[in-house]
Amino acid sequence: MTALLTDQTALVLGASSGMGRATALLLAEHGMHVTAVARRSERLHELATASPRIVPCVGDVTVADDVRRIVTQACSATGRLDLVVYATGTNIPGRALLEVTPARWHEMLATNLTGAFLTTQAVVPILRQQGGGLIVYVASAAVHRPDVSGVAYQASKHGLTGLAYATRVEERDHGIRTTVLMPGLCDTEILTKRPTPTPQDVLNHALAPADVAAAVLFLAQLPPRALVPELPIVPARLW
């Protein structure tokens, strides 16, 4: 357990699987009170059995009322909010430019970007009042190295980066810091939504969710005077 983080409060959105789940577990292991958010109730309650420091909160990040309720619950443990991790994200099989329908485009942006905007608007007044805090947005290495993850996915992750940068510039005098975490290929459930399965020999060299969680832990342990604007983390053998 890390004394620096003991009894601090974290809000992890997208915690029912993959990077978000691993992050919630690791932060709790290091002493943080973690509110774990997702839509899948059974997954969240299973996660909460792993640590008494993890409190499940079922909600939809694309719904403003849900987000406000989630943030209120996250602050209830200690009266403050030290770390927010937006790890919610999705993709679709039919992701090529001429395959994406307007409805699917809006669905992708709602989950990957609008939810982050709603979360940011909800937490910033709290962070201002307490004198600061850190927001980590899980984007993608595709922001710097375009790939075939699809136009909606990449547009949303670029938008997430813009949201993080603009928030940081507007709010830095209030002690609010933002970091864009940019993972490369990671062995998570989202890979099942690829049009064709990822070859096993490629998956063997992919990141694990625990690797991304370790990067979040590193960011959380930095002192308020230090800022990492963006942090790529990629598979060493695939980059």
3-state secondary structure of 94: coil
Task: Report which secondary-structure segment, H or E, holds 71.
Answer: helix 64-76
Question: Is 153 marked active-site?
Answer: yes
The span from the CA of 76 to the CA of 74, in Å, is 6
* Region of residue 173 (phi > 0: left; psi between -120 and 50: alpha; otherwise: beta): alpha
Write the CB contacts of 8 (distance below 8 Å, at least 6 apart in sequence).
31, 32, 33, 78, 82, 83, 220
The span from the CA of 123 to the CA of 111, in Å, is 18
Give the dihedral sign, CA 30/15/8/57: negative
- The answer to whether residues 82 and 8 touch, using CB atoms and an 8 Å cutoff, is yes
3-state secondary structure of 3: coil
The span from the CA of 236 to the CA of 28, in Å, is 28
The partner residues of 42 in beta bridges, in order of sequence, read none
Dihedral angle of Cα 28, 232, 168, 188, to the nearest 10 degrees: -50
Q: How far is CA 19 from CA 56, 84, 233, in A?
A: 16, 14, 12
Select which of 86, 137, 153, 165 is catalytic: 153
Which sequence positions are flagged as catalytic?
153
